[in-house]
Amino acid sequence: MDMLSRQSAPMIVTGGAGFLGSHLCERLLDLDIPVLCIDSLITGSLANIEGLLADPRFQFRKMDVSDPPEFEDARGIFNLACPASPLHYQADPIRTTMTSVRGTFNLLEVARTCGVQLLQASTSEVYGDPAIHPQPESYRGKYPHQLSGGEQQRVGVARALAADPELLLMDEPFAAVDPITRDALQVELAYIHRSTAKTIVFVTHDVEEALRLATRIAIMHEGRIAQLGSPLDILEHPASEFVSDFVGHQGVGLKLLSVRKVSDRLRPGETADGDPLHLDTSLRDALSAMTMRLTDRLPVCDAEGRKIGVIALADLVR
């Protein structure tokens, strides 16, 4: 490839119709660099690049980066194709992984054949602790023994899942971590469970943890199953005194709220202002969100982030 034809080659911007990508496309055109914008429009929008479409130096191609790419030439690649918001990248983890792994692999191949550089966008959460803001960049390159307990637990879960087992046995996995990290790990595990539909046998002595994570709970007493049932069954109909003592008599109302979901009490079609809660949010977390936001109604969204109704304070005590 000679330099002259390389100079007419476009800069490829994947995710170019997204938040960062659309500004980058604009900036490159300002520098008189032709742009080939690639986007599946999963979270991005043509509205973001509306003003660029008439520019002859700008081309848009609707395409998923995890599909085989067909690019003749490029002067460089900015790979920004990946939903950035947790709501979006957690909605379909398989697609997110395909985008991040196969998409990146495809674009690295393009960079290699065209002999150009690739800039890869990422989020520092992949190697850091999402609870810490802003992220120090000091996590990168560490070995597991150099990580904190919570980080090691994440690595452990990732390693276990990497082999794609039918069934996962986790024996008190979060027992040794602090409450904040434990909370974050429980949320992550619940997402993993929902999205991979793997059977997870999870051993815990923490009733709240069991009620939060389980679809079915087996309460063991002296080597036998004292009760096997859904969290709601166990709270509402304990099979014996041992089970009701084990579950605890205090705060049963709050425990019930923590096993019931927003989806059980949704008011479909109604609207409210503010950041939406997910359908799978527990009523306890909904109550907490209402208290923090000083409101008695919150919008609710589905897995794709579409607002589909509201949850109201009065519905929590029905």
Instruction: Decide whether 84 or 175 has the Cβ nearer to ligand NAD.
Output: 84
Q: How far is the CB of 94 from ligand NAD (least distance, A)?
A: 12
Considering only residues 205-264, where is the footprint of ligand NAD by CB under 6 A?
A: none
Q: How far is the CB of 3 from ligand NAD (least distance, A)?
A: 30
Q: Is 64 in the site for ligand NAD (CB under 6 A)?
A: yes
Degrees, nearest 5: CA angle 141-175-88: 60
Q: Is 14 in the site for ligand NAD (CB under 6 A)?
A: yes
Given 6, 20, 33, 206, the residue binding ligand NAD (CB under 6 A): 20
Instruction: Decide whether 19 or 191 has the Cβ nearer to ligand NAD.
Output: 19
Instruction: Decide whether 140 or 237 has the Cβ nearer to ligand NAD.
Output: 140
Is 298 in contact with 285 (CB distance < 8 Å)? no
Q: Are strands 277-278 and 297-301 parallel, antiparallel or unpaired?
A: parallel
Considering only residues 84-123, where is the footprint of ligand NAD by CB under 6 A?
A: 84, 99, 103, 121, 123
Size of site (CB under 6 A) for ligand NAD: 26
Residue 153: CB atoms within 10 A of its CB come to 23
CB neighbour list of residue 285: distance below 8 Å, 6 or more residues apart: 258, 277
- Nearest Cα to 138, choosing from 119, 158, 124, 123? 124
CB neighbour list of residue 313: distance below 8 Å, 6 or more residues apart: 287, 290, 296, 297
Q: How far is the CB of 96 from ligand NAD (least distance, A)?
A: 8
Is 291 in contact with 246 (CB distance < 8 Å)? no
Which region among 11-19, 25-33, 109-117, 195-203 touches ligand NAD (by CB under 6 A)?
A: 11-19
3-state secondary structure at position 24: helix
Residues near ligand NAD (CB under 6 A) are 14-15, 17-21, 38-44, 64-66, 80-84, 99, 103, 121, 123
